[in-house]
Amino acid sequence: MSDASELHDLIEQVLQRYQRRPDRLVQILHDIQDGLGYLSDATIALLAERLQISYAQVRSTRDFYAFFYSEDRGQYRILFSDNVTDRMAGNQALFQQMLDYFNLQPGKVSRDGLVSVDLTSCTGMCDQGPAILVNEMAITRMTPQRVNQVCALVSAGVPLAQWPSGFFAVDDNIRRADCLLGASPEPGESIRAAIARGREGMLAEMKHSNLRGRGGAGFTTAIKWEACRNAAGEQRYIVCNGDEGEPGTFKDRVLLQSYAGRVFEGMVIAAYTVGAQLGLLYLRAEYRYLRPRLEAFLAGMRAQNLLGKDIVGVSGFDFDIEIHLGAGAYICGEETALIESLEGKAGKPRVRPPFPVACGYLNQPTVVNNVETLCKATEIAIHGGAWYEAIGTKQSTGTKVLSVSGDCARPGIYEYAFGVRISQVLEDCGARNAIAVQVSGASGACLSERELGRRIAFEDVPTAGSFMIFDKQRDMFEVARNFAHFFKHESCGFCTPCRGGTALISSMMDKIAEGRGTQYEMNELLRLQAVMKTSSHCGLGQTAGNAIADTVQKFRPAYERRLAQTDFVPAFDLDAALAKARHLSGRDDAHAHLGEEV
């Protein structure tokens, strides 16, 4: 956009769309970037002036999120998902192929301003990788042929809307359905069932069910809802956590894609039970392709009086749902960081307490629940807590939806009653020769062959849903190194143990990979992991070293065979760093080198 008045007009239109609310800043930045391609400092300054907030506030929000750009990233911004499963499916060669085609360096824009190509964290397509995003639209199952097709379309400047629609097909791959995925209740059935039970009755059923949150921590949902209902506040909010950034997890994507009714009805039931009037779905930017159909679904619910005023004829039961888009930050899955993001800020986790149930979105009582947890509430509304409690194990009731990927014949979505053995899942998905399963993503646990008899359950192997399989051709050191890079990239930088620890772990893993690691690094990796676990501010830092600790313990030979046979090799090669000085001074004799015997 060349004309200054056009820029002013665009900003004005977007601000009007969001009623000039600074707490909508992340959405405002998205819309402006959609129009301009990137968010320059001048645009930020103009926006700050119009919103009457500080330049620093707007800029810090822009700079925090990976999908907001301060400089032009080209008409086509292509990002290759770089989860370990994408790597196993060959993403690196495809990435290089595309860079070569455009004669580009990673992250740099072509001279004609047409295209940039870079890597990004897991995009949640692990069952159909390697995956890419083109201007945040997902394309899966990349092959050398598909790379060439994409390159040709980009070179010809074909608008995304005219690309073959098959490129953007994202499959559900549901391989095993149980009571959630196998049922198809009528629209509104669960809301009516909840209303028939009454607010107290619905809460009682939730308590009876012993439903625990599916986002990872496994907190009892009824306790959360009750605390929110009882907290003092002018407004209550229901937030659906659709950030799903944990590498290897994609079940929420499938639930949002094909079970949106369950998700939204779960939000309505939560609102009814706690007395909330507004719901917010936080949708990760990688799932942006879902937004139009989710908006259409919400419109359909409004038309059926399942949202809006006096829902299903219950006087005074008013509730509606808005969709907010994330912008490429794994930490925004952490509930307080997510709330910060919803309020238009950088997604840095808050100090807790106070917890969101007492002081959440806009400092009001807020329930934050995972997508799957909310779906489960619809089952409990329809069938009751006793029915639900009878499924699974005593401490882990109901079913769990797993995202299965990696070395198996049938990657995809598997729903099981809690208590299923890891070996059963492996058998069902056609995994042969598995040497390891990474359960619950990069922050979860790495199980070895000896542990395959263990069970998926909060009391044994808890999981938010990710289930990545590695067979004997895989190198578990490289798996852990991929996760180390992920955490270094995703640490929000707020607290020192995590900011420093993830960076140090990542560089030590690189040093070991280069054959320069020693026993010193092995010891340091474990020491850093322990420091981060005990002193990081939030769950990201506390769990970022898990995979390192597990693989060092269970796959030690993968590390040891790379170690240099000395006690210590400095991380920084000072002599090499002085090469430029030697060159400038025209000297390369023994006296110009450090540590040389003369």
Ligand X SMILES: Cc1cc2nc3c(=O)[nH]c(=O)nc-3n(C[C@H](O)[C@H](O)[C@H](O)COP(=O)(O)O)c2cc1C
Q: Which of 275, 493 has the CB closer to ligand SF4? A: 493
Contact status: 61 vs ligand X (CB under 6 A): no
Q: Which of 130, 213 has the CB closer to ligand X? A: 213
CB of 67 to ligand SF4, least distance (A): 18
Q: Which does 133 bind (CB under 5 to 8 A by kind): ligand X, ligand SF4, none?
A: none
Task: Report d(CA 244, CA 215) in Å as an integer.
Answer: 9
Judge contact between 559 and 477, C-beta under 8 A.
yes
Q: Which of 251, 537 has the CB closer to ligand SF4? A: 537
Kindly report whether the peptide bond that precedes residue 187 is cis, defined as omega within 30 degrees of 0: no
Q: Which does 495 bind (CB under 5 to 8 A by kind): ligand X, ligand SF4, none?
A: ligand SF4
Judge contact between 464 and 99, C-beta under 8 A.
no
Ordered alpha helix ranges (H), 368-475: 371-383, 385-389, 422-429
Q: Which does 136 bind (CB under 5 to 8 A by kind): ligand X, ligand SF4, none?
A: none
Q: Are strands 132-134 and 76-81 parallel, antiparallel or unpaired?
A: antiparallel
Q: Which does 306 bind (CB under 5 to 8 A by kind): ligand SF4, ligand X, none?
A: none
42 by DSSP, 3-state: which? helix
Structural tokens at position 28: 């405002």
- Which value, to the nearest 10 degrees, does the dihedral of the CA atoms of residues 39, 1, 288, 282 take? 40
Q: Which of 285, 331 has the CB closer to ligand X? A: 331
Contact status: 43 vs ligand X (CB under 6 A): no
Task: Pick one of 274, 368, 484, 492: the residue that binds ligand X (CB under 6 A).
Answer: 368
The string of DSSP letters for 304-317 reads TTSSBSSGGG-TT-
Contact status: 243 vs ligand X (CB under 6 A): yes
CB of 97 to ligand X, least distance (A): 31
Q: Which of 411, 497 has the CB closer to ligand SF4? A: 497
Size of the residue set binding ligand X (CB under 6 A):
22
Q: Which of 82, 243 has the CB closer to ligand X? A: 243
Task: Pick one of 244, 286, 379, 415: the residue that binds ligand X (CB under 6 A).
Answer: 244
The piece of 2-10, 119-127, 244-252, 315-323 that touches ligand X (CB under 6 A) is 244-252
Residues within the interface to ligand SF4 (CB under 6 A): 331, 349, 491-495, 498-499, 536-538, 540-541
Task: Pick one of 75, 373, 529, 546: the residue that binds ligand X (CB under 6 A).
Answer: 373
Structural tokens at position 351: 């100090």
76 by DSSP, 3-state: which? strand
Q: Which of 401, 464 has the CB closer to ligand SF4? A: 464
Contact status: 370 vs ligand X (CB under 6 A): yes
Q: Are strands 115-120 and 132-134 parallel, antiparallel or unpaired?
A: unpaired
Q: Are strands 434-439 and 466-471 parallel, antiparallel or unpaired?
A: antiparallel
The residue among 86, 136, 502 whose CA lies nearest residue 328 is: 136
**Helix 476-490 and helix 496-513, axial crossing angle in degrees, nearest 10:** 150
CB of 369 to ligand X, least distance (A): 4
> According to CB under 6 A, which residues from 302 to 361 bind ligand X?
331, 333-335
Task: Report d(CA 78, CA 86) in Å as an integer.
Answer: 15
Radius of gyration of the chain (CA): 25
Site of interaction with ligand X (CB under 6 A): 213-217, 219, 241, 243-246, 331, 333-335, 368-370, 373, 538-540
